[in-house]
Every structure is written in C-alpha cells, then in structure tokens.
Structure 1
Amino acid sequence: MGTRVTVVGEALVDLLWRTGARELSAVPGGSPANVAVGLHRLERPVTLLTAWGDDPPGALVNDHLVTTGVEVRRVPADSARTIVALAYLGADGAATYDFLADWAPLELPVPEDTTVLHTGSLAVVIEPGASRVLDLCRRERARGRTVAADLNVRPAVQPDRDAYREVCLRLAGAVDVVKASDEDLAWLFPDREPAVAARALLAAGPRLVVVTLGAEGAFAVTAEDEVRVAAPVVDVVDTVGAGDTFQATLLDAIAENGGPPAGREALAAVLARCAEVAAVTCTRVGADPPYRAELTGM
C-alpha cells in the first residue's frame, strides 16, 4: 500500500441563502468532496469515490470536480438524482441545512495503494448507501487500512435522534478515527458534556475521537490521553468547509505517519496544525481550503 487517502461519500450542490439576500447561490460541494479537495491541495494522493445524477445539479458537480484536479471515480448508483442542500447562512457565517437527498452507490472500488479510507456526513446516514459504506469500512479496517469518519451530523436527513445516535455508534465501531463537532455531539447526546460524549464514541471501538469546538479550538481523546488545543484568532468570513479542511489536514497527517498520532505531544501537534489550516478556510467565502504552498511556516 502507498500513502493514498480514498474518500467515500457524496458530492452535491449547496444552494446558499445568506441572511438578508434575495437570491440563492448554487455552489458545488459536499463534505466528502470538500475533504478530497482539501487533501489534493495539501498534495496528498487522493481518490474520491462518489455518485451523482444526470441532472442539472449533477452537471454542476461534474464541472466542479473536473476543475479541482482530484482523481474522481464516479460509481454506478440506483438513483439518478444529485443531492441538493439548502444552506442558510446566518450573520455570523454559520450554516444550517436542509436536503433533497439520494445516496445509493452500487459498488465502491477502493484503489489498491490506499492507506487511509475516509467517509462520513450524508453517506453514512442515507440508505441504502449508508449500509454499503458501513460494510466497506468494516472490510477495509479488517484488511489493515486505517479507516476514519467525520460524523458531520445533519438532523434534516434523520430527525430521529435515537436512530441517528445508533448510526453514529455503529460507525464508530467500524473505524479507527472519529471526528465530530461540539454541535454534532450536543445534538446526539444532549444530556452530556462534549468530553463525556466523546468518551461514549470512543467506547464503541475507535482508537481516536477528535472534537472541533469552533473558535474554542479542538480536543481529542484516546484510551490513554485527552489533549486540547486553541484555535487561531482570525477574521471569520464564514465557516463553510472549515470542518472539512480540519478533517483533510488530520487525514494527511494520518497518511504521512502511517496511522493515528500516538502520545500527547504528537497528538497536540497534529490538532494544532488542523486548527491552523481550518482557520485559513474561515477567512474565505465558501469551502476554499488552502494549498500547501500557502501554509509554509505555519
């Protein structure tokens, strides 16, 4: 195996509605697609396994992915429709979402030189694709690949909190690394503090759980350690794609190191790097992760 990261999940179109605006902006994206772009800009070999429909949103997705330079494998699917997300952007740049969603890939061929497999977001919740992705995670982990997931909770696609929590716990049991935001955990575990909720995910079976805290930074828990880092202070334009940039940077480190960081010092260094790179995305409009050349000296 090499150092390739293979990303499995949706590519979609975000319809961005900013507070006070009269018109929507159609922007191609999707968390897994954004993660793949972030990895590519960090000069990490990456393949995106995804599906979209032969419809107008799909044409926009196709054009976008072609321009990114990411190696994309469009897999056959039961559905002919592209996922469309309506993203409401508040005055603080934070987004809430609603979805017109189908996710039904028929096959997910992982390149042989893959070291790390990543998935998450809608791809692990929307059936029938979610069950196929979960099976893939279990198989690839059994083969010795590091498997990571970003929960990226979207209640609009599964408003039943108990059902969504069970999905996330099953996924946590099939992967090595789980990332979530404090908002994800607050919705999944409304009666628990973030650190306690993170430990609940860790108990399901991963080696590492990472939690992003927005402007407060991030923390991570393992069986032995808990590490917390601060976030850089920046002028925030919006937060779209910041979590995906954080995840891309984490995956890049995992691929580089041959597995999740071990020990407090190594884990703190990786988290700090992830927070720094994500902060750059917050200074830009939309999901626009930085290139490696922009990060020299960070």
Structure 2
Amino acid sequence: MSAPTAPARTLVVGEALVDAVTTPAGDTEEHVGGSPANVAFGLAALEHPVDLATWIATDERGRRIEQVCRERGVALTAGSQGAPFTSVAHATLDETGAASYVFDLEWQVAAVPGLTAYAHVHTGSIAAVLEPGGSQVRAILAAARELGATVSYDPNARPSLMGRPEAARETIEASIALADVVKLSDEDVAWLCPGQGLDEVLRGWGELGPAVVVVTRGGDGAVVRVTRTGEQLALPAPRVEVVDTVGAGDSFMAGLVSGLLDAGLLGGPEARARLHAADLADIVPAVERALRAGALTVERAGAHAPTRMALSRGQIGH
C-alpha cells in the first residue's frame, strides 16, 4: 500500500493587522484581523496546513499578531516582520452589526522563500491593490502559478483605500486573471461595476481566466458560475441570528478553499486541470461548506473561524 499523500500546503499572502472595533454603544476593543489573515486562520481551523506572508512590525501589536498566529497554527514566512509599524483597521459597527472601516496602514511584502512548498496560494483585499505591495503580491501569484500552484482571490474592495473604482477594477482584474477561483461580494460588484448586472460580471470575470467565480449576497446566500460550462446557480444561506458580519466573508472564503482542496480541485497542477474540467455539481459542495462557515461566523461577535467539527455539528468552535 502506498503512503498517504500529505495535505496540500497553502500560502496566504496579505495583510494581518489589528481591528479596533467600536460598537454602537461606543465601546472599543482590539482584535487581530485583516482579511487574508482571517482566511489563513479559517483554513487552519479547518485543518489545512497554512503559512501567512504578511507585513507587521515587532511592536506590541505585531507581537500580538505573531502570538495569535502561533496559537491558531499559522506560521509566518520569513520577512513578514519588517514593517515600521503594525497596521490598524478602525471598524465601527452600526445597529445591524454591519461594519464600516477606516485604516491606518502601509503595505508591502517580502519575497517568499521556498515557494515550491505551496500547492495553493490565496490572496485578496488591500494586499493585492495597495502599492508597493500590490505589485509584489501579483509577482508572487505569477511565480506560484508557474511552479504549478493553484490560486484563489477575493477582491474584498475597500473604497476608502482603493481610490477610484475604475482604477481599482483594472488592478483587481490583473489578479483575477491569475486566479483559478474568485470570490467577491455583491457590494464589491456594485462598487467596481456600477450599472452592470450580476450575470454580466460573473461571465466577464470568468472569461479573464478563473474556472469558478462566486458572488456572496449576505443573508441571501451566494451565486456560483462555472466558466467552462456556463452553469450558474443561486444557493441560499442558512438562516441564523446575526450578531455582526465581521469576518463572515473571510470564513466563507476559507470554507470555499477548504471544500475545493478536499475535493482535489485545488492544490497543484493536476488539481487545476480537474477544476477547469469540473461542472457545477462538482463545485456546489464547496460553496455549501462556505455558506455554512460564513453563517456560523455571523452568529458570534468578531471574526470567529469555525472548526471542521463545528461545521459538521453546526456550531462555532471555541
């Protein structure tokens, strides 16, 4: 009998920062966050080996991020701690639990050593747009693809940081063209593609290269399109009581990548070939996992990532 295949190792590239969250009552608490970091934590909670290439300092907030990464089983790549200060996202929650953000950050990323070790690479949000790091991220994605890794991308648009939507869209589409799987929200679509219908955006972005494009719609679930076949399906979200939406999209992204990794549709050149030959029925289980992960996250305050056991039981892991 042959030895079992080791799980595909994933590299997440992007910002890890401190979320300073202010509630409607005016209370503020600090939590470790950043969209890519949350995806890395979500993948680790779902028992996927994962490293994070980021840009933090060795200040108090940076040490806290390092500690949380260690506790969550996420390793930082060499060069991740060269920043002059650790970035902060100031999030203000409204009465519905929705968050608006103001950022105090700068972003770049060091070259990642040992890129051949990673079968899948994920990036998104500020990291793929804000310069000088955005160009560095795209260089890492291109190099990883050349080495055979699959790529996933979540634009997770931040209008306050990304300038005019026309310019941001051009940059974002450069990353979409490098990706095998793209996830975005209906809010991303509205900002980046005003006046365009959802079907038009899904079709157009699929034609740039990704095999699968998924749009999340909050409590209304998600729409998934398979580029090769043109199949498209709207899937409902589980009904839950929302505490806040912080980290919901990141948990969805982690659940989506997790499901596709488990199905052998991400994680190396053979997986890429299977993904690009897949039909809708092959993809739907991963989207359903993603929807469960996002729903479990909004039931709790903060960006809590559900574990594999919690997903099977329908409960957030503690």
Scaled by the length of structure 2, the TM-score of the pair is: 0.88
Is it true that 1:250 corresponds to 2:260 in the alignment? no
Indicate which of 139, 151, 155 corresponds to 2:155: 151
Unpaired runs of at least 5, structure 2: 1-5, 267-274
- State the match for 1:292 in structure 2: 308
CA contact (8 A) 1:78 1:104 kept: no
Question: Deviation per CA, 1:115-162, whole angstroms, max 9, x where unpaired?
Answer: 211001111011111101101111211222111111110111112111
Is it true that 1:18 corresponds to 2:17 in the alignment? no
- In 2: Cα distance, 1:270 partner to 1:44 partner: 15
- State the match for 1:85 in structure 2: 89
The letter of the residue matching 1:16 is V
The letter of the residue matching 2:24 is T
- State the match for 2:182 in structure 1: 178
The letter of the residue matching 1:173 is A
* Secondary structure class of the residue paired with 1:97: strand
Indicate which of 122, 130, 136 corresponds to 2:134: 130
- State the match for 1:214 in structure 2: 218
* Secondary structure class of the residue paired with 1:296: helix
Indicate which of 259, 284, 287 corresponds to 1:268: 284
Question: Deviation per CA, 1:206-238, whole angstroms, max 9, x where unpaired?
Answer: 111111111000011122111221000001111
- In 1: Cα distance, 2:253 partner to 2:247 partner: 10
Q: Give the stretch that moved more between structures: 251-260 or 26-35.
A: 251-260
The letter of the residue matching 1:238 is D
CA contact (8 A) 1:3 1:256 kept: no
Indicate which of 43, 50, 75 corresponds to 1:71: 75
CA contact (8 A) 2:50 2:74 kept: yes
Unpaired runs of at least 5, structure 1: none
* Alpha-carbon spacing, 1:76–1:276, altered in 2? closer, same or farther (3 Å): closer
**How many Å apart are 1:110 and its aligned residue?**
4.7
Is it true that 1:6 corresponds to 2:22 in the alignment? no
Is it true that 1:280 corresponds to 2:296 in the alignment? yes
* Alpha-carbon spacing, 1:77–1:273, altered in 2? closer, same or farther (3 Å): closer
* Secondary structure class of the residue paired with 2:89: strand
The letter of the residue matching 2:137 is V
- In 2: Cα distance, 1:265 partner to 1:28 partner: 36
CA contact (8 A) 1:220 1:226 kept: yes
Counting aligned pairs with the same residue, the percent is: 37
The letter of the residue matching 2:295 is A
Is it true that 1:234 corresponds to 2:240 in the alignment? yes
CA contact (8 A) 2:260 2:283 kept: no
* Secondary structure class of the residue paired with 1:112: helix
- In 2: Cα distance, 1:195 partner to 1:107 partner: 37
- In 2: Cα distance, 1:246 partner to 1:29 partner: 15
The letter of the residue matching 1:255 is L
- In 2: Cα distance, 1:109 partner to 1:34 partner: 22
CA contact (8 A) 1:55 1:82 kept: yes
The letter of the residue matching 1:9 is G
The letter of the residue matching 2:179 is V
Question: Deviation per CA, 1:234-282, whole angstroms, max 9, x where unpaired?
Answer: 0111111111111111111222223255212222222112101210111
**How many Å apart are 1:76 and its aligned residue?**
4.8
- In 1: Cα distance, 2:35 partner to 2:129 partner: 13
The letter of the residue matching 1:191 is G
How large is the Cα RMSD of the aligned pairs? 1.8
Q: Give the stretch that moved more between structures: 190-199 or 76-85.
A: 76-85
CA contact (8 A) 1:76 1:107 kept: no
- In 2: Cα distance, 1:268 partner to 1:35 partner: 20
**How many Å apart are 1:2 and its aligned residue?**
4.7
Q: Give the stretch that moved more between structures: 115-124 or 135-144.
A: 135-144
CA contact (8 A) 2:44 2:50 kept: yes
- In 2: Cα distance, 1:109 partner to 1:36 partner: 18
Scaled by the length of structure 1, the TM-score of the pair is: 0.94
**How many Å apart are 1:112 and its aligned residue?**
3.4
